[in-house]
A and B are shown apart, each in its own frame.
Chain A
């Protein structure tokens, strides 16, 4: 399967689900998708077509927040990045971790560092941050304040 075949497969399976499709090279494809289509599309890519979720990137940009879900089609060397725009309000997205288990840790990371709320997650335990990390402080946000850690170098 190549990028073109992936495109026709997704378009026929999810009519209207893809808002735009950008093939920057035979190895790099970006698809902006409707937030409500994400879960079923992710399920189909992973369980139906056997793609691997490489990771996901949450970004705080001018338009607000967005998440890129990077799916790897290993034979063919294609990275398909599904782009989901979360708008300008407090960022929230549907969890896909129940459908694509490899999304579990990266969703926890995005929740802790970018403050994205993932709806429908079984567990929201912190993965990376310490218990002392203040609530509501998300360091990867552009307007995020990073509090003084209180840690002192040297001495007890």
Chain B
């Protein structure tokens, strides 16, 4: 029997509504239809009526999670246009903010992924570990999100010397949490059964879709703008690009967890080697011409293009967020999988969309509206079934090694 399951477009947890329609034959997903644009705010058009300085604030409003990703890409684009490089100290500060954001974004994803499979302890602990990262953002920028730190030619706020020891200490406090998540991923048999070989993307699938970030790297595609086209201070510090191989949901989680450890290392090195000096070139005008700026956001390459005629506002401003590419992997990854795994697969690319606001099942011409928590429940039940088949408690590895006080 053919069933069509629409998911979306709105969910209060996510800042980016999308609509998925699962065409299901029996238990298996046969086809996926994706519609986006429900939250299209015409930001490219708006940018044409904003001054260059305002554009940075505007693009910071694109995303509520990786809110500094677009400002960094925009600063890179405007500096490419102007043919300048921000002062050294500003490059280090950009790197610190960019990596703090990766940390909290990956923790947010990890928690959500935990929730979708019924690992609610993981959910709570991941989000608990995220809080100190937001506290650091607040101490540095005054804001837990939308930090308003970036500008073309530098950064807007300096890092205070007296804050640095506190920031380092706060980062230390979440290291055991990340180790715990890493260990759970390595050792928990239920997680292995639930996440391995699910929603597999091959390197060819990544090439076909143009997928980016952890989604690409989990499939063994070794791309990362931070290394490939070094900007900010990424070429001044030691770190490595985390690359998986299996291309399944497990490797996507594994890549993100290990990336968090790299992020902490990058932040620590930047804070310890923060060079003195100016933080802003105080640019007054933009020349005519074009500029391209890229940033490796938590979800992959963020791409900005600017066309200038030398006036105070851009003639054209193009933005391509990584989810625009990553979402199309779902056409491939969800096909042939069960409905119980579909939520997880759609969530695995961290698309700023995961679960359902509402869900309606159309079956045999009859439409049945199902409670919003139902899809998560189907996924959760599969986890419980696997755990009971193994004769273990779900989240046993996690609970055995925690909680921390």
Q: In the complex, identify which listed stretch (A3-11, A52-60, A84-92) lies at the interface while the others stay far away.
A: A52-60
Question: Given A102-B209, A102-B325, A105-B328, A74–B228 Cβ distance below 8 Å?
Answer: yes
Q: Select from chain A the residue with minimum beta-carbon distance to B206.
A: A52
Question: Given A27-B229, A74-B228, A128–B36 Cβ distance below 8 Å?
Answer: yes
**Complex contact A130–B44 (CB within 8 A):** no
Q: Of A25, A54, A104, which one neighbours B328 at CB under 8 angstroms? A: A104
**Complex contact B303–A55 (CB within 8 A):** yes
**Complex contact A127–B36 (CB within 8 A):** yes
Q: How far is the CA of A127 from the CA of B80 in the complex (A)?
A: 31
Q: Of B207, B305, B315, which one neighbours A52 at CB under 8 angstroms? A: B207
Q: Which of B315-343 contact A (CB under 8 A)?
A: 315-316, 318, 320, 324-325, 328
Q: In the complex, identify which listed stretch (A12-20, A35-43, A75-83) lies at the interface while the others stay far away.
A: A75-83
Q: How far is the CB of A120 from chain B (nearest CB, A)?
A: 19
Q: Which of A25, A74, A129 has the most CB of B within 10 A?
A: A74
User: By the criterion of a CB under 8 Å from any partner CB, how many residues of chain A are at the interface?
Assistant: 37
Q: Of B40, B42, B210, which one neighbours A54 at CB under 8 angstroms? A: B210
Q: Which of B216-248 contact A (CB under 8 A)?
A: 223, 225, 228-230
Q: Which residues of B contact A70 (CB under 8 A)?
A: 292, 303, 305
Question: Given A27-B229, A59-B316, A128–B37 Cβ distance below 8 Å?
Answer: yes
Q: Of A68, A77, A140, which one neighbours B44 at CB under 8 angstroms? A: A140
Q: Which of B158-213 contact A (CB under 8 A)?
A: 207-210
Question: Given A54-B320, A102-B208, A128-B36, A81–B325 Cβ distance below 8 Å?
Answer: no
Q: Which of A69-128 contact B (CB under 8 A)?
A: 70, 72, 74-79, 81, 101-102, 104-106, 113, 126-128
Q: Which residues of A contact B328 (CB under 8 A)?
A: 102, 104-105
Q: How far is the CA of A14 from the CA of B294 in the complex (A)?
A: 29
A61 within 8 Å of B by Cβ? yes
Q: How far is the CB of B232 from chain A (nearest CB, A)?
A: 14
Q: How far is the CA of A127 from the CA of B318 in the complex (A)?
A: 17
Q: How far is the CA of A127 from the CA of B225 in the complex (A)?
A: 28
Q: Which of B292, B294, B303, B325 has the most CB of A within 10 A?
A: B292
**Complex contact B315–A68 (CB within 8 A):** no
Q: How far is the CA of A77 from the CA of B226 in the complex (A)?
A: 10
A139 within 8 Å of B by Cβ? yes
**Complex contact A139–B42 (CB within 8 A):** yes
Q: How far is the CB of A1 from chain B (nearest CB, A)?
A: 13
Q: How far is the CB of A126 from chain B (nearest CB, A)?
A: 8
Q: How far is the CA of A25 from the CA of B324 in the complex (A)?
A: 27
Q: How far is the CB of A52 from chain B (nearest CB, A)?
A: 6
B35 within 8 Å of A by Cβ? yes
Q: How far is the CA of A105 from the CA of B328 in the complex (A)?
A: 9
B155 within 8 Å of A by Cβ? no
Please give 8 more A-B residue pairs, beta carbons under 8 A apart, in addition to A59-B315, A70-B292, A146-B45.
A50-B207, A52-B210, A52-B223, A54-B320, A76-B228, A102-B210, A128-B36, A140-B44
Pairs A-B, 7 closest by C-beta atoms? A77-B229, A102-B210, A128-B37, A55-B320, A57-B318, A59-B316, A77-B228
The contact sample of 29 A-B pairs, CB cut-off 8 A, is A25-B80, A27-B229, A28-B80, A28-B292, A30-B290, A50-B207, A52-B207, A53-B210, A55-B318, A55-B320, A55-B324, A57-B316, A68-B305, A70-B303, A72-B301, A74-B228, A75-B228, A77-B229, A79-B294, A102-B209, A102-B328, A104-B328, A105-B324, A105-B325, A106-B320, A106-B324, A127-B37, A130-B37, A139-B42
